[in-house]
Amino acid sequence: MSTVVAIDGPAGAGKSTAAKLLAARLGISYINTGSLYRALALAAASSGMDPHNELPANFLEAQKLEFRGETLFLNDRDPGAALRSAECAANASLISKQPAVRDFLLPVQRNAAKAQWIVMEGRDIGTVIFPDAQIKFFVTASLEERAKRRLAQQGEIADGADLDSVMAEIRRRDEQDSKRETAPLRPAEDAVMVDTTGLGIEEVVELLVRSCRQAGVPDLHGGC
């Protein structure tokens, strides 16, 4: 088995916050693979490309993406807050449907787990990237709760958005992610299902920590 804790799930389910805190509790690195798609979308937009169109092979080959610790570098620069805009998120969702993009990013994601334990979060970690992960979680929540959480995230939504519009956008994103031909969003057959609706973040993290310990994931903080 690979040295990976895989966390998948739809937008707004709370998986990013839970994954970060889980990694901190276990003393291992946290990797958000969604940032890879956002970084490519950012690079494409900077080059004047339409995310509705296939990204050219020569463009992909020219991009250098790597995690240094937990920080993603795009062409040797940390893109930082630019990845968190609503536009970048929308464009990342579009390009993530492209098989060539997913093929290009596969080795980048797998390289992040070499010689270290990591918590890796995304939408196809347990099904495609690391099907041999030590443990797999699929984190979800009700549509309304996910929309409320997304509304509370600065920079993640368009100006003037309200609960109904965010719910509609998340519903559209769910359908797009689950119906794409390449690596659709779905739980791995052996994933631990975690519904965070009505749960506080500490409750969620405790559940994840207990499951990881039962699965034999090392606690590099010595059990604290």
- The per-residue pLDDT for range 128-167, each reduced to its tens digit, is 999 999 999 999 999 999 999 888 876 666 677 889 999 9
DSSP character string of 148-205:
HHHHTSTTSS-TT--HHHHHHHHHHHHHHHHH-SSS-S---TTPEEEE-TT--HHHHH
Cα atoms in the Cβ-side hemisphere of radius 13 Å centred on 221? 12
- DSSP state, residue 26: H
What is the distance between the alpha carbons of residues 175 and 5, in angstroms, rounded to a whole number? Answer: 26
Average of per-residue pLDDT across 203-219: 94
Amino acid code (one letter) for 147: A
Q: Which fold has domain 2-214?
A: Rossmann fold (3.40.50)
Q: What is the pLDDT of residue 124?
A: 92
> pTM for the complete prediction?
0.87
